[in-house]
Structure 1
Amino acid sequence: MSIPSAVLFDVDGVLVDSYPAYRRIWRRWATLRHLDPDLVWSQTHGRRPVDTIAVVAPHLDVDAEYRLVREIMAAEGDAFPVYPEAAAVLSLLDGQPWGVVTSGRTPTVRQRLRAGGLPDPPVLVDSGQVRRGKPSPEGYLRAARLLDTPAANCLVIEDAPAGIEAARRAGMTVVAVRTTHPADELTGAHHRVDTLGETIPLLTDWLNGTRPARRERRLRAGGIVPPRC
């Protein structure tokens, strides 16, 4: 009997093209607080907003500043489109266990996915469900438990170094999409592609493979080769 395999996605930079809007949001907040916008931006990738604020402005009240960030975000309106390939990618997962692990909040994530015509994830682990955000593996491990799937049988699609580290620490295989970071910052991933659409052959290989509970993973050009029972 084969053991179920699951696919887990980050949201921002993977399913939702949110980075242009987020860059404006964080630049605006940094300017209001007399901080270096580039330094602030460098600390946002793959992190919960509260963690970013705590790192770049430890002298400020995190909760109050997070409320301000969300007010600035609300002014962005509909500036958070899904990637064009997202619907085709998720259509591969009909009947398969999948979910998202995000540094955002559930209502916001669902609103953006629905606005882009995407389905609600069967499992959604957001920033409020973990004590520590990425690069801690806590979110990915929680998603695996909720899907009743061993961590070793989870394939993760990520775009940021912190998310890649989180998934690797959870014992999962990681595919990085080069949507927000250059290739040399994504070397922790098992495989790298340019766009979300290019993950389709990898997802197909993963979902068609038979995977024992403990095994080694090998990568080949163009696909993931799962050992057979």
Structure 2
Amino acid sequence: MTGLEPAAVLLDMDGTLVESHPAVERAWRTWAAEYGVDPEAVLAVAHGSPSLPTARRFLPSATDAEVAAAAARQLDLQYDDLSDVTAIPGAHELLAVLESRGIPWAVVTSADVRLAKARLGAAGITPPLTVTIEDITEGKPSPEGYLLAASKLGVDPTRCMVVEDAEVGVQAGRAAGAHTVGVRGVAAGLTVTSLEELARLLEPSRSS
């Protein structure tokens, strides 16, 4: 596969398809204040990662039950905070190109199913397949989510394109054997300035 001829496209949600950074940051800052940890330290590592390992990292003396409750609290802070959640510019254009070319696609996210549905709904995006943290045992940078999505789509992961805005997500895509595309300046096999650029690159006239 070349970068412009994927058999399937697997997309991260937050920061890639959906603009939710302000909501994510608000939730983590509130959570950090409640649990007495440094919000800047939390924000430096939380993006793109599931809430459970992040909570465990910053609450090292907590029991498993306490960590699980802390992770659940972080998600609770996000469920209804949708006022400024929108589709990333170019998201609908990109998805339209995939539909026109008949390229299967899926969303693979570190969010749980409730949060994924809420944010994708706010952005007006209805994926044919969504893989959430509840579908797997290990989140990014583990490749498990991307491997599961490829399997469900019936596509070899090495023929998939993974689109990510976080290093942990790129690591997951690479570990799955997929071709990686980075947005928001994240380094990957191919880095694009926007989803509009990726859409143009994937147009049939550009990839033939």
> Shorter-chain TM-score: which interval?
0.7 to 0.9
Instruction: Pick which of 160-169 and 45-54 moved more.
Output: 45-54
Larger Rg: 1
User: Which residue identity does 2:108 align to in structure 1?
Assistant: V
With CA pairs under 8 Å and 6+ residues apart, which has the higher RCO, 1 or 2? 2
Q: Given the alignment of the two structures, is residue 24 of structure 1 paired with residue 26 of structure 2, yes or no?
A: yes
1:43 and 1:56 in contact (8 A); partners too: no
1:4 and 1:149 in contact (8 A); partners too: no
Total equivalences in the alignment:
199
Alignment partner, residue 72 of structure 1: 77
User: In structure 2, the residue corresponding to 1:40 is in which secondary structure?
Assistant: helix
Alignment partner, residue 141 of structure 1: 147
The 2-side partners of 1:29 and 1:4 are apart by 39
Q: How does 1:60-139 map to 2 (within 5 A)?
A: 60=62, 61-74=66-79, 76-94=81-99, 95-118=102-125, 120-139=126-145
The 2-side partners of 1:124 and 1:35 are apart by 32
TM-score, with structure 2 as normaliser: 0.88
User: Which residue identity does 2:124 align to in structure 1?
Assistant: G
The 1-side partners of 2:156 and 2:87 are apart by 29
Q: Map Cα deviations across residues 196-224 of structure 1 (whole Å, 9 max, x no partner).
A: 2121133336x956xxxxxxxxxxxxxxx
TM-score, with structure 1 as normaliser: 0.80
Give the unaligned 5+ runs of structure 2. none
Alignment partner, residue 61 of structure 2: 59
* Structure with greater helix percent: 2
CA RMSD of aligned residues (A): 2.1
User: Which residue identity does 2:69 align to in structure 1?
Assistant: A
Q: 1:47 to 1:136 in 2, by over 3 A?
A: same
Alignment partner, residue 162 of structure 1: 168
2:9 and 2:106 in contact (8 A); partners too: yes
The 2-side partners of 1:45 and 1:117 are apart by 22
User: In structure 2, the residue corresponding to 1:43 is in which secondary structure?
Assistant: helix
Alignment partner, residue 39 of structure 2: 37
Report the alpha carbon displacement of residue 62 of structure 1 after superposing the two structures with TM. Answer: 1.6
2:201 and 2:207 in contact (8 A); partners too: no
Report the alpha carbon displacement of residue 133 of structure 1 after superposing the two structures with TM. Answer: 0.5
The 1-side partners of 2:6 and 2:34 are apart by 49
